[in-house]
Structure 1
Amino acid sequence: MQFAGPRTLLAVHAHPGDESTSTGGMLAHYARTGARTVVVTCTNGEFDDAPGGAMPGEVGHHPKAVAAHRRAELQAACDALSITDLELLGYHDSGHTGEVPEGGFCTIPVETAAGRLAALIEHYQPQVVVTHYSSHRDHMHVIRVAKLAVYRTGIPAKLYLTAKDGSTTIDISDVAEVKRKALQCHASQQVHGAFALEEHYFRALDTTGAPLPETDLFAGITTAGPDLPRW
């Protein structure tokens, strides 16, 4: 399928840090090969741990201060990954368990959040959209939001979910150090340790007919416009 260029990939995540832990290698890989990479972060991460390690509800945990710190870490990580564009929806983190705070992301009507995401899809015109899967209530909500926005706009040719063993495998060995630097930017979350040199995705939507399994999220897609400069 032919599209106006450049190759554009839009990743939708629930919290600051998800872009690095879930898709950091893939984002760095495609940025390095000249694709435009857009990260949409839905919440501010208020219910993450504070820089000093205080957990939500503990002394020393101030949600607004945590949100500001997490946004700074997110920007630093996106710079490390050479993300072209970062978009913040600014919803309140719902937390892992317990009562959801007023305005928590998972309480926002799917149609409302999907409308905002659809506007970004219309603006950036991505051929590929990626989001992440887990049992966290904000992560489940972001999947619903991303699916509706993709179907509503009809613009992306492909939609992928992160997976442990999916239809598509991306070799990230060439950008392993870049992913590691992005993870280190989220110092308040104490993200560390080894990670696999492959990232796996499940293809949830495809209009290209590209055969499976794949090793390229853009398989079956050609663009008329030029890519961005490679690095």
Structure 2
Amino acid sequence: MQFAGPRTLLAIHAHPGDESTSTGGLLAHYARQGARTVVVTCTNGEFDDAPNGATPGEVGHHPKAVAAHRRAELYAACDALGITDLELLGYHDSGLTGEVPEGGFCTIPVEVAAGRLAALIEYFQPQVVVTHYSTHRDHMHANRVAMSAIERTGIPAKLYLTAKDGSTTIDISEVADVKRKALQCHASQQVHGAFALQEHYFRAVDITGAPLPETDVFAGITTSGPDLPRW
């Protein structure tokens, strides 16, 4: 199917750090190829651990300071991954368990958050969107918001969900060093150790008819505009 260019991949994540742990290889892979890569981060990450190790509710954990630190890590990681555009929705982290704070992302009506995301989709015109599939309440809400925004705009040709095994496998061996550097930018998350050299995704929406399984999220898509300069 023919689309206006350049190739554009938009990733929708709940928290700072998710872009690197969940889709770091995918984003780096296509950024290196010259595709436009856009990251939308829905929350500020206030309920992450503080740099001093303090957890939410403990002495030394200051949510606003944590959010500022996580935002700085996010910018650094996106720079490492070669991200073209970073958009912050600025919602409050809902936390993993317990009472959701006032304004927590998962309490925001889907149509409200989806309206903001739809505006970004209309602006960037991504052919491909990727988002979460997990039981974390902010991840689940990001999924609902993404689905609503895609249905509202009708712009993306494909939607992928993160998966342990799925319809689409991306070889990230050539950008493993880039993903590792991005993970290291999130020092407060203490992400250590090896990771698989493949990332798996489930294709949830497709209007191209590209056959499965696939090894390219842009399979079935051609663009009229040029890609960005490779890095």
Using the size of structure 2 for normalisation, the TM-score is 1.00
Which residue type is aligned with residue 145 of structure 1? V
Check if 1:33 corresponds to 2:37: no
Give per-residue Cα distances to partners, 1:119-138, cap 9 Å, x unaligned.
00000000000001111000
Give 1:230 deviation, angstroms.
1.0
Give 1:18 deviation, angstroms.
0.1
Give per-residue Cα distances to partners, 1:14-48, cap 9 Å, x unaligned.
00000000000000000000000000000000000
In 2, distance between residues paired with 1:216 and 1:24? 15
**Equivalences for residues 73-92 of structure 1 within 5 A:** 73-92=73-92
**Equivalences for residues 41-60 of structure 1 within 5 A:** 41-60=41-60
In 2, distance between residues paired with 1:220 and 1:134? 27
Large movers: runs of 4+ above 3 Å: none
Aligned to 1:200: 200
Gaps of 5+ in 1: none
**Equivalences for residues 118-133 of structure 1 within 5 A:** 118-133=118-133
In 2, distance between residues paired with 1:192 and 1:130? 24
Aligned to 2:24: 24
In 2, distance between residues paired with 1:166 and 1:113? 28
In 1, distance between residues paired with 2:153 and 2:50? 38
Using the size of structure 1 for normalisation, the TM-score is 1.00
Aligned to 1:190: 190
In 1, distance between residues paired with 2:16 and 2:154? 27
Partner-residue secondary structure (3-state), 1:66: helix
Aligned to 2:65: 65
Check if 1:111 corresponds to 2:111: yes
Partner-residue secondary structure (3-state), 1:147: helix
> RMSD of the TM alignment (CA)?
0.3
Aligned to 1:148: 148
Give per-residue Cα distances to partners, 1:154-193, cap 9 Å, x unaligned.
0000000000000000000000000000000000110111
Give 1:66 deviation, angstroms.
0.1
In 2, distance between residues paired with 1:173 and 1:186? 21
